[in-house]
């Protein structure tokens, strides 16, 4: 039996739907009355773990799950030792630099050296500003990052944006794009190579399903 790590939050519904298309039904995780953090598919061939998105690659890297779905943003931030097998073409968002709408800064290079930048994506932010040769004070925040520039804690933020509505409602605007992100299929490298629990079959079937969708 293989174990699948599924992310709580925005990617869950589409992830469950995609697994249904390859013959694995984890839809019980969508039942609001269900509080279980792990379930077994009705065919008794696979188990699903419901975990925080940031933890998906951790469970796979350490072998507690053999395959999973996670945003590319998480892979960039965590750099786990997993096999990145496919872009699944859903869950689009982007990691951007944003400032208050009345800020005088129109691009990242306008920010003074050692400016405070708040973010959940500490590693990504550090790499980005390092590539610009622009030293910054990175402030790790794991709640509502948008509050940091509003309260004066920081001059800018680096955060995920999908529609931009949250930024707009809080008086913030994007000034730079770091990268775009979608859901990715990942797997435990050794388990995939050895095809444990028919893992390679499920992964390859999912990749083929996505390829066919894109083609149509």
pLDDT-based confidence at 137, cuts 50/70/90?
very high
Q: For residue range 65-91, what is the model confidence (pLDDT) as tens digits?
A: 999 999 999 999 999 999 999 999 999
Helix (H, G, I), strand (E, B) or coil at 187: strand
* Number of C-beta neighbours around residue 19 at 10 A: 22
Query: Topology of 93-179 in CATH?
Result: D-Maltodextrin-Binding Protein; domain 2 (3.40.190)
- How far is Cα 106 from Cα 97, in angstroms, rounded to an integer? 10
* Number of C-beta neighbours around residue 179 at 10 A: 12
Residue 33's pLDDT is: 84
Q: For residue range 184-209, what is the model confidence (pLDDT) as tens digits?
A: 999 999 999 999 899 999 999 999 99
Which is it for the CA torsion 175, 180, 183, 185, positive or negative?
A: negative
Residue 156 has pLDDT above 90, yes or no: yes
Q: For residue range 88-104, what is the model confidence (pLDDT) as tens digits?
A: 999 999 999 999 999 99
Residue 148 has pLDDT above 80, yes or no: yes
Write out the residue limits of the CATH 3.40.190.10 domain(s) in the chain. 2-91+182-215, 93-179
Q: What is the mean pLDDT of residues 43-53?
A: 95
Residue 216 has pLDDT above 80, yes or no: no
Question: In the structure, how many helices (H) and strands (E) does the chain have?
Answer: 8, 11
Residue 149's pLDDT is: 97
Residue 60's pLDDT is: 97
pLDDT-based confidence at 2, cuts 50/70/90?
very high
Residue 5's pLDDT is: 98
CATH dotted code for 2-91+182-215: 3.40.190.10
Residue 35's pLDDT is: 87
pLDDT-based confidence at 213, cuts 50/70/90?
confident
Helix (H) or strand (E) holding 126: helix 122-131
Owner of token pair 């001059």: 155
pLDDT-based confidence at 214, cuts 50/70/90?
confident
pLDDT-based confidence at 167, cuts 50/70/90?
very high
């Amino acid at each position: 039996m293989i174990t699948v790590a599924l992310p709580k939050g925005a990617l869950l519904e589409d992830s469950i739907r995609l697994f249904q298309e390859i013959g694995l039904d984890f839809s019980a995780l969508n039942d609001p009355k269900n509080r279980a953090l792990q379930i077994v598919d009705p065919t008794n061939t696979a188990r699903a773990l419901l975990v925080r998105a940031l933890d998906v690659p951790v469970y796979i890297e350490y072998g507690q799950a053999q395959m999973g779905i996670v945003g590319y943003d998480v892979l960039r931030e965590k750099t786990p030792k997993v096999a990145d097998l496919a872009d699944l073409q859903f869950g689009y968002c982007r990691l951007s630099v944003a400032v208050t709408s009345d800020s005088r800064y129109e691009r990242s290079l306008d920010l003074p050296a050692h400016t405070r930048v708040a973010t959940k994506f500490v590693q990504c932010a550090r790499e980005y500003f390092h590539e610009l040769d622009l030293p910054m004070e990175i402030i790790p925040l794991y709640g509502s990052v948008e509050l940091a520039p509003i309260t004066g804690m920081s001059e800018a933020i680096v955060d995920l944006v999908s529609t931009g509505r949250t930024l707009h409602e809080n008086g913030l605007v994007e000034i730079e794009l770091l990268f775009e992100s979608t859901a990715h299929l990942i797997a435990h490298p050794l388990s995939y190579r050895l095809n444990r629990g028919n893992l390679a079959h499920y992964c390859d079937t999912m990749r083929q399903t996505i390829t066919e969708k894109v083609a149509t």
